[in-house]
Amino acid sequence: MIFFLRIQCLLKQTDGSNMKEIILASGSPRRKELLEQIGIDFTVIPATREEYITSTIPREVVEELSLQKAKEVASLPPFVGSSDIVIGSDTLVALSGRIMGKPKDKKDAFAMLKALQGNTHTVYTGVTFIVTSIVPQIITFSEAAKVSMYKMSDAEIRAYIATGEPMDKAGSYGIQGRCAAFISRIEGEYNTIVGLPIAHVYQVLKTLL
């Protein structure tokens, strides 16, 4: 069963007509919070199909996965031909060309954090908009930000993993959570690292509403 999560609306069309429905094809609480932060009224319908990739280039991977998620939800019967807006997004971490998604288990989380500590990596977030008209309009883009981390001892890594925070996050860490204690520098938009480059998202939405 699909559960619809309704959020109070603040963003209105300037002509006073009914706003197109905005659907977030992601269950990420971080993306939800970022859309709420800028006053967007939206519905959450997470994409659930197994993801697949055809590229090994991080920017291409996040764009491809964001497109898959948006297409899955846009193809649901209530939205086909409805002219609503579906937003798909995906985030990954890349260190020296090695792509890191969400950890499979605690051992995987430890290996990721062990590699990231004391180094600089890049976080990529891809976003796809689909306007679900008879001929769908598709816009895909990605943003990147660099993150440098202080060194972490094995004990610090294990203590962080024990909080459970790393287990649903790309690269096994949340910059907005307890791992903030180990972030020495960022280059780029902070929200790209959190999971949605919200300013860019808003600028695109303005052209679609």
Domain extents in the chain: 22-208
Q: What is the pLDDT of residue 9?
A: 37
Query: How far is residue 133's CA from residue 55's CA, in Å, rounded to a whole number?
Result: 29
Q: Measured in whole angstroms, how far is the alpha carbon of residue 24 from the centre of its chain?
A: 10
* Structure token pair of residue 87: 């937003």
Residues marked active site are found at 90
Query: How far is residue 60's CA from residue 44's CA, in Å, rounded to a whole number?
Result: 25
Residue 1 has pLDDT above 80, yes or no: no
Q: What is the pLDDT of residue 100?
A: 94
22-24 vs 85-95, strand pairing mode = parallel
- Topology of domain 22-208, CATH: Maf protein (3.90.950)
Residue 54 has pLDDT above 60, yes or no: yes
Q: Is 12 helix (H, G, I), strand (E, B) or coil?
A: coil
pTM of the model as a whole: 0.88
Q: What is the pLDDT of residue 19?
A: 64
Q: What is the pLDDT of residue 4?
A: 31
User: Which distant-in-sequence residues (6+ apart) come within 8 Å of 97 by Cβ?
Assistant: none
Under the banding of pLDDT at 50, 70 and 90, the label for residue 8 is very low
Under the banding of pLDDT at 50, 70 and 90, the label for residue 14 is very low
